[in-house]
């Protein structure tokens, strides 16, 4: 404490902090070069915290000049000693390559200098268009009519089709990541786990992706079985889970862990066998899990007649 009261020491400390900030900020700007120029975040006024994700907090903010509302996502920098988080860079690149009514729009990137409030580390923020609701909360509050449910699904599938057309896997489709604006337009959001698909140069060695994706209740069987060569169907499984949730008003498979989730899928859709899934026997997790066999499909018994009529 005595050192902090010494003027020369404080000046030296502040100089070091400024040097660290300049180095870090310059590196981040270099990594962001070609993507977007960052602007000061103080042009926005924080109104309330509206979300907390794996990769950062989200706030509702108001632009000081235009008075418009936006969603401000703070990028978590705590684990980054140097440079900019690769997950955030990937999210930014993907979002800035997309332009579709049903995909949330990234407006700009902002920064704030280091201070006592942020642990003397520069902070970076993504500014998105603001949407009033997410589908998870809205479906609990409102009994959607059949036409509205169908309109929601049409928009969702249109957005997913656009992503896949542009070789983007979302990898975390769930009701909480589906936003609805004040005009009823659906927006697919939260691209923190998204990535572009890469074609393998060798057909005998398809591209491998991480298995640490997709929220458990919306996770498809191939990822639960640790198949690292998955593709666009993982998003379609998530869209199907969201569709069922629209009619049942709750996630239809709420497992406690991966094996529990697999068992719930089997009890609904039937046993996983090489006959219906050629090649599944090559997955080590499938061989070790000893999943129940001879389980028949129970979709008709467990889902509502109206939902089944839509499927048929």
The answer, yes or no, to whether residue 269 has pLDDT greater than 50, is: yes
Check whether residue 163 and residue 271 sit in a common domain: yes
Question: Tokens at residue 184, please?
Answer: 């009823």
CA distance linking residue 124 with residue 84, whole number of Å: 9
pTM listed for this prediction:
0.83
| Domain assignment present for 10 | no
Check whether residue 76 and residue 19 sit in a common domain: yes
Highest mean predicted confidence (pLDDT) among 111-125, 153-167, 186-200, 238-252: 153-167
Provide the CATH number for the domain around residue 232: 1.10.510.10
pLDDT of residue 1: 46
Note the pLDDT tens digit of each residue in 108-134: 999 887 776 666 677 899 999 999 999
Check whether residue 122 and residue 144 sit in a common domain: no
| Domain assignment present for 3 | no
The answer, yes or no, to whether residue 2 has pLDDT greater than 50, is: no
Domain boundary (99, 129, 159) is at: 129
| Domain assignment present for 195 | yes
Check whether residue 175 and residue 301 sit in a common domain: yes
Check whether residue 145 and residue 85 sit in a common domain: no
Check whether residue 216 and residue 137 sit in a common domain: yes
Check whether residue 222 and residue 299 sit in a common domain: yes
CA distance linking residue 45 with residue 89, whole number of Å: 25
Domain boundary (129, 151, 180) is at: 129
Domain boundary (86, 113, 129) is at: 129
Q: CA-CA-CA-CA torsion for 175, 179, 185, 191, nearest 10 degrees?
A: -100
| Domain assignment present for 9 | no
Q: Is 238 or 116 the better-scoring residue by pLDDT?
A: 238
Provide the CATH number for the domain around residue 76: 3.30.200.20
Residue 73 annotated in ligand binding: yes
CA distance linking residue 124 with residue 116, whole number of Å: 16
Q: Number of folded domains in the chain?
A: 2
Check whether residue 81 and residue 142 sit in a common domain: no
Q: Are 65 and 33 in contact (CB under 8 A)?
A: no
| Domain assignment present for 2 | no
| Domain assignment present for 171 | yes
CA distance linking residue 164 with residue 61, whole number of Å: 31
CA distance linking residue 178 with residue 291, whole number of Å: 32
| Domain assignment present for 1 | no
Note the pLDDT tens digit of each residue in 170-210: 999 999 999 999 999 999 999 999 999 877 655 666 788 88
Q: Are 52 and 63 in contact (CB under 8 A)?
A: no
Check whether residue 189 and residue 67 sit in a common domain: no
pLDDT of residue 290: 85
CA distance linking residue 229 with residue 180, whole number of Å: 32
Q: In this structure, what are the phi and psi dihedrals at residue 53, rounded to the nearest 5 degrees?
A: -120, 180
Question: Tokens at residue 269, please?
Answer: 């859709």
172 is known as an active-site residue: yes
| Domain assignment present for 79 | yes
Q: CA-CA-CA-CA torsion for 114, 116, 119, 120, nearest 10 degrees?
A: 30
Q: What domain range is 32 assigned to?
A: 15-129
pLDDT of residue 87: 83
pLDDT of residue 118: 61
Q: Are 122 and 28 in contact (CB under 8 A)?
A: yes
Q: Is 22 or 97 the better-scoring residue by pLDDT?
A: 97
Check whether residue 301 and residue 166 sit in a common domain: yes
Residue found by looking up tokens 């988080």 in the block: 85
Q: In this structure, what are the phi and psi dihedrals at residue 227, rounded to the nearest 5 degrees?
A: -80, 115
Q: Is 3 or 165 the better-scoring residue by pLDDT?
A: 165
User: Which residue is catalytic, options 7, 134, 172, 235?
Assistant: 172
Count CB neighbours of 226 within 10 A.
Answer: 14
Question: Which of 6-20, 34-48, 125-139, 264-278 shows the lowest mean pLDDT across its residues?
Answer: 6-20
The answer, yes or no, to whether residue 100 has pLDDT greater than 70, is: yes
Check whether residue 149 and residue 170 sit in a common domain: yes
pLDDT band at 39 (very low <50, low <70, confident <90, very high): confident
Check whether residue 66 and residue 122 sit in a common domain: yes
């Amino acid at each position: 404490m005595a050192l902090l009261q010494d003027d020369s020491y404080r000046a030296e400390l502040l100089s070091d902090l400024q040097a660290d900030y300049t180095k870090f900020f310059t590196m981040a700007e270099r990594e962001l070069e070609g993507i977007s120029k960052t602007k000061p975040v103080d042009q926005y006024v924080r109104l309330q915290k509206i979300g907390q994700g794996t990769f950062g907090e989200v706030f509702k903010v108001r632009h000081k000049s235009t008075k418009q509302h936006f969603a401000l996502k703070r990028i978590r920098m705590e684990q980054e000693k140097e440079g900019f988080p690769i997950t955030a860079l990937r999210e930014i690149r993907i979002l800035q390559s997309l332009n579709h009514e049903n995909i949330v729009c990234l407006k700009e990137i902002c920064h704030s200098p280091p201070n006592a409030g942020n642990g003397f580390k520069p902070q970076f923020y993504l500014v998105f268009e603001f949407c009033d609701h997410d589908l998870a909360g809205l479906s609990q509050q409102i009994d959607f009519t059949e036409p509205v449910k169908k309109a929601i699904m049409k928009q969702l599938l249109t957005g997913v089709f656009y992503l896949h057309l542009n070789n983007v896997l979302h990898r975390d489709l769930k009701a909480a990541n589906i936003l609805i604006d004040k005009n009823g337009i659906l927006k697919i959001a939260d691209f923190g786990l998204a990535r572009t698909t890469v074609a393998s140069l060798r057909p005998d060695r398809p591209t491998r992706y991480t298995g640490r994706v997709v929220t458990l209740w919306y996770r498809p069987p191939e990822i639960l079985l640790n198949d690292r060569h998955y593709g666009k169907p993982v998003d379609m499984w998530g869209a199907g889970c969201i569709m069922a949730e629209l009619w049942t008003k709750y996630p239809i498979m709420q497992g406690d862990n991966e094996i529990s989730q697999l068992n719930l899928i089997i009890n609904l859709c039937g046993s996983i066998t090489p006959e219906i899934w050629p090649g599944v026997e090559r997955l080590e997790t499938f061989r070790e899990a000893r999943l129940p066999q001879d389980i028949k499909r129970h979709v008709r018994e467990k889902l509502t007649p109206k939902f089944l009529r839509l499927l048929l």
